[in-house]
Structure 1
Amino acid sequence: MPVGNGTHGSRTRDPGLQPERTRLAWRRTTLACAVAASLAGRQALYTGIEPGSLVVLALVVLVWLAFLALAHRRIRAMRASRPPALSPRAAAAAVACTLALAVLGAATLR
């Protein structure tokens, strides 16, 4: 709900706790991706280091680092009093990282 000084022309935005909740959601998602990457690494070590599993593990780490960078940029952007909307390109990158981790996670279980 916009808060103003009583006049119709001057309204300021009261974001409340929404930016903080969004920052926390990005942090939780990044932590979940780190756990998925760790489990993929554990599975690769458990089954033995083979060239195929080493490539999959390297891809998992790269995808996790890409998601970490994306999340860090978004968390920093949420510090603004009026944070910008997530760009379609960043949203597509986040979806691509999530799908890539799912596919690579399934590949480690083969």
Structure 2
Amino acid sequence: MTAEGRDPGLQPERTRLAWRRTTLSCTVVALLAVKQALHSGASPAGIVAVALSALAWLGFLLVAHRRVLGMGTARPQPLSALGALTAGACTVALAVFAAAMLF
């Protein structure tokens, strides 16, 4: 079968659902960061960590939204290198800011 005749089947739908699940996970992490900051007292470092977590979450949300929209076409384009780098950087940033809030 040639690349022109490729039938993607349900693969784009599974990828779209995976992006949505990952976005939901990032949302939960961001909300837990806010909860942790509120319960531990609003220290300046905690506020900065929550603000940076919110920015990382928004960055990931933007990449995920663009990817989900891109998966709606008959022949979705692969994720760009910049999109993959941004998603990875936002994920690592969320983990670093969460660790910073704990200490």
Q: TM-score, normalised by structure 1?
A: 0.89
1:50 aligned to 2:43? yes
Match of 1:5 in 2: none
Match of 2:82 in 1: 89
Match of 1:78 in 2: 71
What CA distance in whole angstroms lies between the structure 1 residues aligned with 2:59 and 2:67?
13
User: Radius of gyration: which is bigger?
Assistant: 1
Name the SS of the counterpart of 1:12 in structure 2: coil
What CA distance in whole angstroms lies between the structure 2 residues aligned with 1:97 and 1:63?
5
1:18 aligned to 2:11? yes
What CA distance in whole angstroms lies between the structure 2 residues aligned with 1:97 and 1:38?
15
The total of aligned residue pairs comes to 102
- Unaligned regions of 5+ residues in structure 2, if any? none
- The Cα shift of 1:109 comes to 1.0
Identity of aligned residues (%): 57
Match of 1:40 in 2: 33
What CA distance in whole angstroms lies between the structure 2 residues aligned with 1:35 and 1:106?
15
1:31 aligned to 2:24? yes
- Unaligned regions of 5+ residues in structure 1, if any? 3-7
Match of 1:65 in 2: 58
Q: TM-score, normalised by structure 2?
A: 0.94
- The Cα shift of 1:25 comes to 0.4
Amino acid at match of 1:75: V
- Greater relative contact order, per chain length (Cα 8 Å cut-off, separation 6+): 2
Conservation of the 8 A alpha-carbon contact between 2:60 and 2:90: yes
What CA distance in whole angstroms lies between the structure 1 residues aligned with 2:58 and 2:85?
16
Higher relative helix content: 2
